[in-house]
Amino acid sequence: MSDDTRSYWLWLQKSLGVRSNTAEILSVFGSAKTLYEAGGTEWKLSGLFNPKQIRSLEQNSPEDTLPLQKLCDNNGWQIVTPDRDDYPALLLTIPDYPAVIYVWGDLSCLIQAVPIAVVGTRSASPYGVDAAGRLCASLAEAGAVVVSGGALGVDSAAHTGALFGGGKTVAVLGCGLSANYLPGNRPLREQIALSGAVISEYPPETLPTAHNFPIRNRLISGISFGTVVIEAGERSGSLITANLALEQGRDVFAVPGNITNSSFTGTNKLLRDGAKPVFSALDILEEYTGFFPGVLKLGGLEDSLSRVKVKSGGFGNTGRATAQRKDSPANAAVPNKPVRRSLPEDTEENTRLVYEKLTPEPTHIDDLVRATGLDPSRVLAALTELELTGYTELTSGKRYALI
């Protein structure tokens, strides 16, 4: 395949956005290049596009994407499109699969492999971090590929566990590859790229926003045979991934949690509603051995996570280790006490400015825009980073509060 076909796929993504009905479009036109060559009249007659989309298809051109291709080439990022052999086959079974995946690493690790998604809360408890790390180390040792979202908490423990187990792992980001997303996790992403891949459907310079992450969740589940949920509250974004997995015809698993702790309400409800309980990697991988003879090594799997060896110090500070949980006794005693913690040294100035304007009382995002004088997009990007790293939380009505 000639690299010049990338221009057409990038044109399609730029014109219609990251989440379009790709499967239906390509079932009619066959490829992005054929779609481009068909022209406006055929686009209108197909009935697949609204007037706004047709205008966007007409206003953009494949040549406009050349600077983006150069940026990716210069950084060693691959542009993987549906006509390439290393495009994940499982993704092609969902209706809104990406026209473009930007890849840091080698996505061919998913070929003839058993990808398993492992997701959970960013503010994971020591139990959640330990369970994710042990489980993913065991999955990796057995030959599975661990897929997660590259965030703090369960995600980071999942990736770390897979690396510790000597396996491959894939991180699916909700921002561009060049975005300054969780700078403290940069070394982990570098390790992931060496053994697997860090990927995104968003163009490289796309900032992390709260809107992006639920959209990318369909890729975490769509790229995997099954999704395992570890420590998820009743409103956790991990439940979105679990529901998407069900819609996509994938399996859903859950690790049981403390029934008296609200952090596990979502996970335990999944079990009540039919998700398969997980006590070891064997509970997951036994579902796929018949489909992948010789790929998985189940003989050495432990029948309990308690028997899986962990590295010294556990699986790292991947949660809000320095932040008290909202339901902790200390916070219960002084519920309105401000908690102003130090930000990491490499935190960007915009994020610091927004953080200084936050208080324990919820503040509307419009008020933060006025208080900081920053563009709304930059305030939202800063708030997203602060939320992901456990410094603030989103309450009702687009209001943010210190935690």
Clarify whether residues 337 and 233 are in a common domain: no
Clarify whether residues 24 and 112 are in a common domain: no
Q: What percent of the chain has pLDDT over 90?
A: 65
Please check whether residue 324 lies inside any domain of the structure: no
For 83-92, 108-117, 335-344, which range has the lowest pLDDT when averaged over its residues?
335-344
Please check whether residue 321 lies inside any domain of the structure: no
Give me the residue label for tokens 């690493």: 105
For 26-30, 108-112, 386-390, which range has the lowest pLDDT when averaged over its residues?
386-390
Please check whether residue 319 lies inside any domain of the structure: no
Residue 389 has pLDDT above 80, yes or no: no
Range 75-97 average pLDDT: 95
Give me the residue label for tokens 């997995």: 245
Q: pLDDT value at position 293?
A: 81
Residue 82's nearest CA partner among 96, 61, 70 is 96
Write the pLDDT tens digit of every residue in 299-354: 767 666 666 666 545 665 443 332 232 333 333 333 334 456 788 877 888 999 99
Clarify whether residues 272 and 129 are in a common domain: yes
Strand pairing of 197-200 and 101-105? antiparallel
Give me the residues paired with residue 399 across strands.
Answer: 364, 395
Distance from C-alpha of 358 to C-alpha of 380, rounded to nearest angstrom:
13
Structural domains counted in the chain: 3
Q: pLDDT value at position 290?
A: 84
Q: What is the CATH number of the domain that holds 362?
A: 1.10.10.10
Please check whether residue 89 lies inside any domain of the structure: no
Q: pLDDT value at position 205?
A: 93
Mean pLDDT of the chain: 87
Residue that is last in its domain, among 55, 75, 95: 75
Residue that is last in its domain, among 75, 97, 130: 75
Clarify whether residues 32 and 71 are in a common domain: yes
Q: What percent of the chain has pLDDT over 70?
A: 89
The crossing angle, in degrees rounded to 10, of helices 237-247 and 265-272 is: 20
Clarify whether residues 234 and 153 are in a common domain: yes
Range 27-37 average pLDDT: 96
Which is more confident, 364 or 68?
68
Distance from C-alpha of 32 to C-alpha of 13, rounded to nearest angstrom:
10
Identity of the residue numbered 187: P
Q: pLDDT value at position 164?
A: 93
Give me the residue label for tokens 């990796």: 140
For 80-89, 123-132, 267-276, 312-321, which range has the lowest pLDDT when averaged over its residues?
312-321
Q: pLDDT value at position 4?
A: 73
Residue 69 has pLDDT above 90, yes or no: yes
Distance from C-alpha of 80 to C-alpha of 302, rounded to nearest angstrom:
36
Please check whether residue 93 lies inside any domain of the structure: no
Q: What is the CATH number of the domain that holds 180?
A: 3.40.50.450
Clarify whether residues 335 and 273 are in a common domain: no
Write the pLDDT tens digit of every residue in 213-233: 989 999 999 999 999 999 998
Clarify whether residues 235 and 121 are in a common domain: yes
Question: pTM for the full model?
Answer: 0.79
Collapse the DSSP code of 301 into the 3-class scheme (helix H, G, I; strand E, B; otherwise coil) and give the result.
coil
Q: pLDDT value at position 338?
A: 43
Judged on CB neighbours under 10 Å (0-12, 13-18, 19+), 22 is buried
Please check whether residue 365 lies inside any domain of the structure: yes
Clarify whether residues 126 and 248 are in a common domain: yes
Range 172-200 average pLDDT: 93
Residue numbers of the domain that contains 393: 329-402
Please check whether residue 140 lies inside any domain of the structure: yes
DSSP 229: E
* φ/ψ of residue 277, rounded to 5: -70, 145
Judged on CB neighbours under 10 Å (0-12, 13-18, 19+), 306 is exposed
Range 179-197 average pLDDT: 92
Q: pLDDT value at position 386?
A: 84
Residue that is last in its domain, among 56, 75, 94: 75
Please check whether residue 95 lies inside any domain of the structure: no
Write the pLDDT tens digit of every residue in 285-297: 999 988 888 889 8
Residue 296's nearest CA partner among 138, 129, 101, 171 is 138
DSSP 173: -
> Nearest-5° angle of CA 30, CA 32, CA 37?
90
Range 138-145 average pLDDT: 95
Q: pLDDT value at position 335?
A: 35
Clarify whether residues 351 and 209 are in a common domain: no
Three-class HEC string of 119-154:
EECCCCCHHHHHHHHHHHHHHHHCCCEEEECCCCCH
Clarify whether residues 396 and 333 are in a common domain: yes
Clarify whether residues 208 and 276 are in a common domain: yes
Clarify whether residues 118 and 246 are in a common domain: yes
Q: pLDDT value at position 332?
A: 32
